[in-house]
Amino acid sequence: MTAVRSRRSTAGAAGVLTVLVTLAAALTGCGGSGHKSTTDGAAPAITRLLDARAAAVRGHDAKAFLAGVDPRSTRFLAEQRTMFADLADVPLAGWSYRLVRTGAFPLPPTADATASARTAAEVQLRYRLAGYDTQDLVSTAYLTFTHRAGHWYVAADDDGDSAGKRTAVQLWDQGKVEVVRGKHSLVLGLGPVATLRGYAADADLAVPQVQHAWGRAGWPGSVVVEAPRTLDQLGALLGAKPSDYQGIAAVTTGELGGSATAPADRVIVNPAAFGRLSAFGRQVVLTHETTHVASRPATTTHTPVWLSEGLADWVAYRESGRTAPEIAPELTADVTAGHLPPALPSTADFRPTASGLAQAYEGAWLACRLIADQWSPATLTALYRAVGAGQSVDAALKARLGLSEAAFTQRWRAYVGEELG
């Protein structure tokens, strides 16, 4: 299941998007391609093969890593050789595989008569970055394994595509990963290095702002930024249509854990859109995204999108010195024309293709700004944590603001009119 939260380009922070990705899949299907799809005892042998490949990555041993690739799969062997080299500089604290199941999807026919068996498998990759991740990040691969001459090999990672079983794309699958370390950031990108240093500088400014507004507890006080070269690469990393992200400057991805053990997020930059921003716009975008990183452990399915996105924008604009009409130009135009929003933004309002996407973000920002200004910043963050912990929005508002959700909505509508009219 994937929930998508987004913002298109506006006059202020042009293009903020948050994507919460829960990596889970229902496993169906079985192999069948002219060879036996699996054999008794295959799982333990494949597990040993995966363990050896993981040890080779951790030990920077290319020869051992490639020894597990089917030598007859020449294209895949070349891709794996390149991927291993492109991964070399990434600072890994852990790398492992877990075989979830064999027979995970139907295998296409093959004319290879030398393989005594083939099987399709779902495999979890678990890794963490040294000095930044406190938990493993998990992604899913759908691999084809072949058995020949008494050995199992991995032979392909794209046979499941036609069955909708696509292997998750990582940055090192797209090119040589350059690494830039900032004071509060780690930037992994496909270059140029000068651009990556700029991302690190912006992220280093964002982290203290987020710590001041949200606090230091519950997150590492650092952010990992990934920077592909193109929009198509961004779409591949997200497993989404690139066109949906044409005007998006950055996205935040993370598994929705709702606890202190939720894996860290990655902020992924769209270089073309991000590069068109002013220095102010870049800072707003990365501060917004870093707020999502910090607040992720307190963010659950109970958290309404307006509260999550509104908090991130409130932190990003908090010390900007900009007026409400400057920050919310689209909503200002609506209010000036006599159109107050009838209700707080819904989840649907934050879809990437929603016609009122900018107004949704601006309205959410004003809702959180209202709470912080007329009650206190501490009230806003306490409300956020309470809702994430499972308290209903209505109950949390009553407990901290003394207003029901309906009464708060009316207060917010009046506030929007006062600030933007």
Which is more confident, 377 or 251?
Answer: 377
The side-by-side arrangement of strands in the sheet containing 266-269 is 2-5, 16-21, 250-253, 266-269, 223-227, 185-189, 178-181
Query: Residue 244 in contact with residue 352, Cβ under 8 Å?
Result: yes
Tokens 């308290």 belong to 391
Question: What does the mean pLDDT of the chain come to?
Answer: 88
Does the CA dihedral 205-210-212-218 come out positive or negative?
A: negative
Distances in Å between the Cα of 353 and the Cα atoms of 4, 241, 305, 328, 344 are: 11, 12, 16, 19, 18
Percentage of the chain lying above the pLDDT 90 cut = 76
Q: What is the predicted pLDDT for the residue at 67?
A: 98
Q: What is the DSSP letter of 394?
A: H
Residue 3 has pLDDT above 80, yes or no: no
Distance in angstroms (rounded) separating the CA atoms of residues 91 and 219: 20
Angle at 347 between CA 269 and CA 304, to 5 degrees: 90
Q: Do 2-22+177-420 and 42-167 fold alike per CATH? A: no
Q: Are strands 223-227 and 266-269 parallel, antiparallel or unpaired?
A: parallel
Residue 14 has pLDDT above 70, yes or no: no
Q: What is the predicted pLDDT for the residue at 224?
A: 96
Instruction: For the chain, state the CA radius of gyration.
Output: 24
3-state secondary structure of 146: strand
When mean pLDDT is compared across 52-56, 151-155, 160-164, 313-317, the lowest value belongs to: 160-164
Backbone phi, psi, residue 100, to 5°: -85, -50
As a three-state string, the secondary structure of 43-108 is: HHHHHHHHHHHHHHHHCCCHHHHHCCECCCCHHHHHHHHHHHHHCCCCCEEEEEEEEEEECCCCCC
Residue 246 has pLDDT above 90, yes or no: no
Average pLDDT score over residue span 27-42: 45
Q: How many residues does the chain have?
A: 421
Distance in angstroms (rounded) separating the CA atoms of residues 420 and 225: 34
Q: What is the predicted pLDDT for the residue at 244?
A: 85
Which is more confident, 188 or 3?
Answer: 188
pLDDT by residue (tens digit) across 309-366? Answer: 999 999 999 999 999 999 999 999 999 999 999 999 999 999 878 899 999 999 999 9
pLDDT by residue (tens digit) across 253-268? Answer: 864 433 344 445 899 9
Average pLDDT score over residue span 154-168: 95
Fold of 2-22+177-420: Neutral Protease; domain 2 (1.10.390)
Query: Residue 33 in contact with residue 110, Cβ under 8 Å?
Result: yes
Tokens 């498998």 belong to 121
List CB contacts of 350: < 8 A, sequence separation 6 or more: 4, 5, 6, 7, 305, 309, 357, 360, 361
Average pLDDT score over residue span 299-314: 95
H/E stretch holding 123: strand 117-129
Q: What is the predicted pLDDT for the residue at 210?
A: 97
User: Residue 310, class by beta-carbon neighbours within 10 Å (0-12 exposed, 13-18 middle, 19+ buried)?
Assistant: buried
Query: Residue 116 in contact with residue 148, Cβ under 8 Å?
Result: yes
Q: Where in the chain are the domains?
A: 2-22+177-420, 42-167
Sheet strands (E) in 215-298: 223-227, 250-253, 266-269
User: Residue 214, class by beta-carbon neighbours within 10 Å (0-12 exposed, 13-18 middle, 19+ buried)?
Assistant: buried
Backbone phi, psi, residue 67, to 5°: -65, -20
The CATH class given to the 42-167 domain equals alpha beta
Q: What is the predicted pLDDT for the residue at 254?
A: 66
Residue 395 has pLDDT above 70, yes or no: yes
Residue 131 has pLDDT above 70, yes or no: yes
Distances in Å between the Cα of 386 and the Cα atoms of 167, 180, 257, 389 are: 36, 37, 16, 5
